Amino acid sequence: MAGTSVLLHCRSLMWIGSRGVTSGAINNNISFVLKHSVRDFCSKMSAAELAKKAAACAAVDNHVTDNCMLGVGSGSTIVYAVERLADRVKTENLKVQCVPTSFQARQLIINHGLNLSDLERTPELDVAIDGADEVDDQMNLIKGGGGCLTQEKIVAANAKYFVVIADYRKRSKVLGEQWKKGVPIEVIPMAYKPVISQLCMQFGGKAELRMAKAKAGPVVTDNGNFIIDWQFDAVPENWKSVNQEITLIPGVVETGLFVNMAKKVYFGMDDGTVSIKE
């Protein structure tokens, strides 16, 4: 957002200049915007990216061994995990079978020259490494901001050890503290309206069909389904019970609530260090 504001501001100043009204003050304004706004924007982004990379590298270094059967998650933090994995495979001559959780993960595995597998050929995984949209004090997760929640949960459930990597912005005392977009719920397309009605009637809050940004209509998952984002009013006392009740609604495929699944969470901090919760 800040980068967009800077760009729009600079474009406005450039338009003024093209009309022949550029002044020393305007030039000074351009210099100030570029020097301060862009610098501040980039420094914030670099801190977050540094945190993601630190968490990803720590997890890969601590949990991936030779002959490992690995579940590869989805999202921006996973990019760093796959990069680190590819480096280790090359330098240490590791043999690793990678099972993706999404089209994105599959492409990352292929593009980095890693061994691609699936749950049909590799049904039991040693470890799965994935990101999260939010992690609470009990290590409950909200996942599915990228729409890959069903495959992510299937892969995580078939791993002996599920490891989460995230930056410091994803850490909360309770779910909903940081992540304000609600719990993603994958649904069969024909059922989205009844599911929305049932969610609101049974649990309160607000539920909306997630709309696509680069196409007309709703987001469509890798499985050909829709995503509903349920924004709860109050934090439930028992997320496990809520998750079970939601999955019983006809038409619901899976939820983005990962309850009692994560064994360890690596939080990358803004100073490049890593905080581990288990």
Catalytic residues: 152
Neighbours of 156 (CB within 10 A): 25
Q: Are the C-beta atoms of residues 163 and 119 closer than 8 Å to each other?
A: no
The owner of tokens 């706004």 is 37
The CB-side HSE value for 184 (13 A sphere, CA atoms) comes to 27
CA distance 197 to 220: 20
Q: Are the C-beta atoms of residues 78 and 72 closer than 8 Å to each other?
A: yes
Q: What's CA 49's distance to the chain center, in Å?
A: 13
CA distance 218 to 216: 7
